[in-house]
A = this chain, B = another copy of it.
Amino acid sequence: MILNLDFNSDKSIYTQICDEIVKAIAKGNLKIDESLPSVRSMAETIGVNLHTVNKSYNALKEEGFLNIDRRKGAVVATLPMKEGNETLEKSKLDLELLIARCYLSGMSKEDFLDLSSKLFDSYEVKYHE
């Protein structure tokens, strides 16, 4: 379980941990029902406070990506998640802003769709393999 963290980032560490785990799940590096490292070992591995990892796991549980099991610890929840969830709605709003920034930065619609398609495939393929 290798997480790519930047302690100098503006993003909080616990948010970075969440994001890395979400990407790991999407890429298939973490399978459904697979257990994540314990809060304690994860914290030691990446060199952060125990509470920080704990906060990440709980946040992902709230989002529906993880289940917290007393015996197995944090496990990847069954996916795909149900329709109409908050994450998806929030993501759509984020997308509106993201596209505005890309557009103003001079990115063409074609480039954006190509990149999106490529990124989607990188998840699609691995997840179903």
A residues in contact (CB < 8 Å) with B: 7-8, 12-13, 19, 22-23, 25-27, 48, 62, 65, 67-71, 79-83, 85, 87-88, 91-92, 94-107, 109, 112-113, 115-117, 119-121, 123-124, 127
Contacts and interface: CB of A to CB of B under 8 A. Distances in A.
18 contacts: A7-B70, A8-B68, A23-B100, A26-B100, A27-B100, A62-B62, A79-B104, A80-B104, A81-B106, A91-B107, A92-B115, A94-B94, A99-B120, A103-B120, A103-B127, A112-B120, A113-B117, A116-B116
Contacts of A113: 113, 116-117, 120
Contact residues of A: prevailing secondary structure: helix
